Amino acid sequence: MNFWTYIEVSMSDNDRKLLIVFLVILVLLFILLGLIGMLIRYTMQQQAKRIDYYMHDPVVYHVIDNPEHFRRYGYVVNNRLLYHQALVPFILGAISLILYIAYAASTNNWTEDYFGHFSSLFIVLDWGNPQYYAQFWGIKLLSSWPGVYSYPNPQAAYWASYVLVPLWLTTIVYYLVVIQAFFARLILLNRRSRTVYEKSLEGYNYYGSVTNYQPGYPQQNPVNQPMNNPPQNPPFPPNFPRH
């Protein structure tokens, strides 16, 4: 029984070209998405730093002394920060909502295509035309760049769309950025609550701490920085017989 009898691979020259183009586009798309992801990650790291500013003093002055308290206080501070940062998009959204209601009520048209009207400001491509698509292994793929469906054609009658749509888009994007910052701070809060109060025995030796023992005082710094700990074992006596 031949394996290849079950799989029929037949590619024309056109299919081969399409496959190469498709792979190149896919690789470029992945790289672009990777770069965008790295940019978003860097942005979130910068946004998360703000919570450190608010958490610093209560922790340094030992007002907050355990992870649960740290998280509880951090969540309250984070919620307040979210509220203050979200005021701007909420105000923009409220203004756009008032404008929308006033315009729709005055024209008595509540189902106007605002986004369609707004697209009259830009070049619109003909994505829906089937002549720009090709069948590749049963998959419908874009085979060529679509033609222009319409050129910019601003009209005075669409003024409400030209005002409302940018307001809506700004509100949505701004609010999503604020939510992203909120999420980033939340992640950092949980991470800090685990690391700030962490106790570690890494690099600690019990017998090394017995020499010069003073009751009530730790002999070694239990902070999780083993490199900062003093030598664990006492020095070798100089006159001790060695083998």
Distances (CA, A) of 148 to 133, 159, 194: 15, 24, 56
Q: Smallest distance, Å, CB 158 to other proteins? A: 29
- Would you tell me which residues interact with other proteins (CB under 8 A)? 27, 29-38, 57-58, 61, 63-64, 73, 76-77, 79-80, 82-83, 86, 90, 175-176, 178-180, 182-183
Q: Which is nearer to other proteins, 83 or 127 (CB)?
A: 83
Q: Smallest distance, Å, CB 79 to other proteins? A: 5
Q: Smallest distance, Å, CB 180 to other proteins? A: 7
Q: Let me know: does 94 contact 164? Beta carbons within 8 Å.
A: no
Q: Smallest distance, Å, CB 147 to other proteins? A: 29
Q: Which is nearer to other proteins, 75 or 132 (CB)?
A: 75
d(CA 52, CA 79): 14
Q: Which is nearer to other proteins, 20 or 172 (CB)?
A: 172
Q: Smallest distance, Å, CB 177 to other proteins? A: 11
Beta bridge partners of 156: none
3-state secondary structure at position 179: helix
Q: Which is nearer to other proteins, 65 or 126 (CB)?
A: 65
Q: Which is nearer to other proteins, 27 or 123 (CB)?
A: 27
Give the closest residue to 164 by CA, choosing from 105, 117, 122. Answer: 117
Task: Give, as one character, the DSSP assignment of residue 146.
Answer: P
d(CA 140, CA 132): 10
d(CA 194, CA 137): 52
Task: Write the CB contacts of 34 (distance below 8 Å, at least 6 apart in sequence).
Answer: none
